[in-house]
Structure 1
């Protein structure tokens, strides 16, 4: 009798903890600190000149540390488990938020606080990717896995990736609707601006601590995470000791050094087409977030200043460091455009998850998202005006923003789906190899006398057989690619924006989407 099939392998508590805890708040806390850090610099520390440079330096330092920390957290999660990394990450975020508003100067106190936040944020953002295969993937102790089960696992990962994209978008909304208005509300209750900011950070830190506790209990006993604990760190390399249980037998699977583990995860991108597409998709997805949140407002501001629409005769704003105050019209238009793109992205996330499930072989949703991005970014760079009304404006800019939003969420959802499918395919290959070994056993004596063995007999090595257990390392490399995308677009796009044209960053994004489109075509049709 066939047992009823469930959507995800994980329990309901584990799935809801992942979707409503890990996914949205990994974004919410980042949006909160990025949006409020300027107020910390000006109101709490009292820096009135050079706040733009200070905020930019803090953000750049954050990304540099995250670039290194994400792969390390991923490798560590393969040893201690994604549950412990999530718990630790959110606890670090809570501590960083509290210490952040204790700073009396930008360097070194505020910088150290931002780096601590980056360390925790890198942990939780990496685990968004690492937990997905554990929640969606099939996990069975049986010796044989049917083809239908493997298809169900891949299907579940595609659906779950759509939910992840939607929940991540909701996390940004939580930050904008709940967290960011907190200082204003505290001020209405009679607190000074500095005190209001401190109380806001304390409250958000308390939320992070609650999420940490929820992850500790809600992610217990995830499928495929058996035996992973902090004790593995010092027991994994002990040899010659009797097997004392599941944790010990699990630890023996991991004799690879950390850097070698990371190197294998990186090399898988050149050996597995799904994992390669996932890595490249992560690169484009994270770069898209910068293109929308940074360069679209910058391009709008540039257009208004050069057109003399900010109330200044020479096109220069009185205070170019604060777009909201110096050119309110540009600020409003930038908010509308980015808001439209994010709304479209939020609504399209479940659709991309569903379509990814229906088209796993050809990656059609990913190709469609890349094509939308190529057209959207190129068109935006060629627009005579970013306005939706006026002499040179057109309502068609909303269509362009919709294409950009579709491109961003498509890259996020499809890259997670494809990457998870690649990890699950490693697990399926691993099970097939183990079944072949059981059906064709080779005893120790035959191993010692190689001349007695058939020439064509193949037994996969330890590294080959346990690649699926490197999902944390793979998630870390995925985040590494994403961080590289952010840094490349930020520095190169910003430089070309000043030197060549205000449309240069968008041509770069069009090129990124074109490269991913080409890679998807090659992977799906060859």
Structure 2
């Protein structure tokens, strides 16, 4: 029976820090800046003309830098740790917010401040994805225990486990001998998945084997359920910005401060909050599972791993081999998008999800305003939300109501998609993401076809509410399900291939793939007739790639935003006002096709595995 709340290996403080620190505020400061940057231009700098052009250019530069910065932050977190990158990100955000209101011109001062904010914001948003697998990751001492069992002769495994059970009961104390395995000292056994290793040690159908199966399913389901909570807290973070941060200048003006001074002080207050969030993360994410050997010292140490094996004489033999470089980390995380269905669909889901956020926040207000201009209810055609508010208040109120309803639907459905994702994960299915994509197709097409989005005055406009609800559900479904798929891909304990040492005496030995069978989820290897005759290979533990995978996920999302804003904006002006929504429907349709193809291929493989038990086993 699925759990209502995820089963975590992280402590309560670490989980609270992740949800209430990283997830909650990852978008709050961005929403605050996007909504108030025009006031910096008009009130602080004093520029009254071409405000829309300046704001648009700053936003485009922000996304362009984030497109590059996200993968770099992700790869850096694989060396120094996710906590360090998150703290650095929020400190940069705090510093940039203070610098922005000290600008005296748009170019270059305000542009530099916005780029600095983009750099810090990219670190914060990337760590939302990178920290997720650590919440359910296996702790280092548990890995060491498994490595010790694998290194021990088969006859001693039962004795070790029996001694541990007796020790836990309090009758006889038992302390396992220290293992040399760690993230930087890896035994050959650690290259095999924990799941495969446990299946080798315990006969299939035994109570111990079933316990391993259940633990693996709990971890997979827990990742999806936690992703639902992340989606909820991320949405709540946007509400924090709208309800708490944005009204600050108005409160200050009521106390007698001028407009420019009110904007400056509000930015200083939010900057202090960002700094406090960084401090909270620094203490709250200490000793995070899977991060034991990551620190700033890794940047100074030579890029080598210690490879330790248990020789025929029973003694460990240690050699040095080159550790994965940043280029290899990036290449492997990119390759996983094509070789692993879960991670590939996660990247594609992130592309659709991030683009959907722009469809809601940018193009719905523009669509509503264009309707009011076309019908003569407004006489101007502003190009940003702030100008719409000033020049056509009725259009602004309708746009705010529609976007608010869409975001509320997303907020309420986030835990639901997390729960559904947890259930689907037990069957390694992607049907919740398929549902979200189909809902997105319906929502975007129906909104793009609207002749009248004015839901308050009838004539078919009431359908606008249903359309934005469908859009909001689709957006949060894509976010939660794609995060869950990435977490599943990282924590399924498979490894990515990496060139090995030459195997001569005295160097690290490797574990043959035909000795352990294909890794869980490696359908391709199971179907290849000569898979067992391949040369010996070692692998990179995916837990070491979670930052790089998170960076690629953010990169895909940034590409979706740039494509929708540029292509959708151009088609909005040159073709039809519904073009951005039709484009989003196409994005969701492509995701549907990808899910069907991947799901169909997996179903065929499973059917062949049932019909021929030799498929997928050693």
Which residue among 412, 419, 422 is the counterpart of 2:489? Answer: 422
Q: Distance in 2 between matches of 1:459 and 1:31?
A: 52
Per the alignment, residue 409 of structure 1 pairs with: 476
Task: Report the equivalent of 1:340.
Answer: 405
For the Cα contact (< 8 Å) 2:82–2:131, is it kept in 1?
A: yes
Secondary structure of 1:465's aligned partner: strand
Q: Which residue of 1 aligns with 2:29?
A: 29
Whole-angstrom distance in 1 between the partners of 2:213 and 2:91: 41
Cα separation, partners in 2 of 1:459 and 1:128, compared to 1, 3 Å: farther
1:374 to 424, 441, 447: 441
Superposition deviation, residue 137 in structure 1: 3.0
Find the residue that maps to 2:577 and give its secondary structure: coil
Q: Is the 8 A contact 1:253 1:466 kept in 2?
A: no
1:114 — aligned with what? 114
| Alpha-carbon separation, structure 2, partners of 1:71 and 1:128 | 13
Superposition pairs of residues 428-443 of structure 1, within 5 angstroms: 428-430=493-495
Among 180, 184, 187, the residue aligned to 2:246: 180
Answer 1 or 2: which has greater helix percent. 1
Cα 1:319–1:157 change in 2 (3 A) is closer
Q: How does 1:218-229 map to 2 (within 5 A)?
A: 218-229=284-295
Q: CA deviation at 1:327?
A: 1.1
Residue of structure 1 equivalent to 2:256: 190
Distance across 1 between alignment mates of 2:588 and 2:598: 15
CA separation in 2, counterparts of 1:283 and 1:516?
Answer: 10
What's 1:309 paired with?
377
Cα distance, 1:319–1:103 mapped onto 2, change above 3 Å: closer
Equivalent in the alignment of 2:279: 213
- Aligned counterpart in structure 1 of residue 554 of structure 2, from 460, 479, 495: 479
- Contact kept? 1:87, 1:216, Cα under 8 Å: yes
TM-score (norm 2): 0.76
Q: Deviations over 1:199-237 (max 9, x none)?
A: 101110111101111111111111111110001001042
1:263 maps to which of 309, 331, 346: 331
Aligned residues of 1:319 and 1:326 also touching (Cα < 8 A): no
- Alignment correspondent of 2:298: 232
Mark the CA change 1:218 to 1:466 in structure 2 (over 3 Å): closer, same or farther: same
Q: Which runs of 5+ in 1 are unaligned?
A: 243-250, 434-441
Q: What TM-score do you get using the length of structure 1 for normalisation?
A: 0.89
Evaluate the alpha carbon distance shift between residue 29 and residue 352 of structure 1 in structure 2; reply closer, same or farther with a 3 A threshold: same
Alpha-carbon distance between aligned partners in 2 of 1:156 and 1:318, rounded to the nearest angstrom:
43
Partner Cα distance (2:392, 2:90) in 1: 37
Q: Tell me how far apart the structure 2 counterparts of residues 254 and 286 of structure 1 sit (CA, whole Å).
A: 36
Report the alpha carbon displacement of residue 329 of structure 1 after superposing the two structures with TM: 1.1
Cα distance change on mapping 1:389 and 1:94 into 2, 3 Å: closer
The answer to whether the aligner puts 1:163 opposite 2:224 as a matched pair is no
- The alpha-carbon deviation at position 392 of structure 1 amounts to 2.5
Does the 8 Å contact 1:497/1:503 carry over to 2? yes
Unaligned runs of 5+ in 2: 147-196, 199-211, 309-318, 498-502, 516-529, 602-618
Structure-2 separation of matches of 1:318 and 1:253: 56
| Alignment: residue pair count | 497
Partner of 1:387: 454
Are 1:301 and 1:331, in contact at CA under 8 Å, matched by a contact in 2? Answer: yes
**Separation in 1 of the partners of 2:382 and 2:15?**
49
Report the secondary structure of 1:138's partner residue: coil
Equivalent in the alignment of 2:505: 444
Q: Once structures 1 and 2 are overlaid, which stretch shifts more, 163-172 or 352-361?
A: 352-361
Larger Rg: 2
Inter-partner Cα distance in structure 2 for 1:173 and 1:319: 20
> Which of 342, 347, 352 does residue 274 from structure 1 map onto?
342
Question: In the alignment, is the contact (CA less than 8 A) between 2:71 and 2:555 conserved in 1?
Answer: yes
Displacement after TM superposition at 1:444 (Å): 2.8
- Report if the CA contact (8 A) 1:342-1:405 is conserved: yes
Question: What is the aligned partner in structure 2 of residue 436 from structure 1?
Answer: none
Which residue number in structure 2 is paired with residue 133 of structure 1?
A: 133
Structure 2 Cα separation of the partners of residues 420 and 402 of structure 1: 27
- Of the structure 1 ranges 355-364 and 484-493, higher mean CA displacement relative to structure 2 is found in 355-364
Paired with 1:271 and 1:96, the residues of 2 have a C-alpha distance of 39
